[in-house]
Amino acid sequence: SGSVAQGLSYVQRSPLGPTIGDLFQRLSGKGLLQAQVSMDFPLHHMDRHKVDVDLALTKAMLAVSDIPQPVSELSGNLHIKNSEITTASLIGRFMQGAFKLKTEPSAGGHSMLVADGQLKAQSMVQLVNLLKLGYILGYLMRWKVLHQYRH
């Protein structure tokens, strides 16, 4: 039990941090975190490391250093095995809109992260501009967009 900031710092400074990637290394956060962590890093065979993490977040905030909009009010559970998020069930807010993040089964026994949310038109334009700049490069993003007509 502790803070998101402490948890991120711990993993970012561990031998695992750099292997997760640059985006993870640029994360900062606030809020409450409960974690159960098991890490095994064989000194002479780092490629055989084993990591198992169960996280529970409560009203957390996550930010990436060069993206102006943080994720806020993030609550739910996440399980990480080695370098893969195997299960996720999170809700929060991004760019003034609510969203859900969950995992779905994918080919080869892997999991796919699926985000489903709502954005106002102006926020959608900002999101598209972030995508154009390559901030989410290397990730497949599926976003459901619903439009409600007013009579």
Q: What is the pLDDT of residues 83-118, one digit of tens each?
A: 777 888 999 998 878 888 888 877 777 777 777 877
* Phi/psi-derived region of residue 21, left when phi > 0, alpha when psi is between -120 and 50, beta in every other case: left
Query: Rounded to the nearest 5°, which phi and psi values hold at 121?
Result: -55, -45
Q: Please give the Cα distance from 2 to 14 (Å, whole number).
A: 17
pLDDT, one tens digit per residue, over 2-57 is: 899 998 898 889 877 787 778 788 889 999 999 898 878 777 886 787 888 899 99
The helix, strand and coil proportions of the chain, stated in percent and rounded to the nearest 5, come to 25, 45, 30
The neighbouring-strand residues paired with 28 are 63
Please classify residue 68 by burial: count the beta carbons closer than 10 Å to its beta carbon, then call 0-12 exposed, 13-18 middle and 19+ buried.
Answer: exposed
Tokens of 69: 């909009």
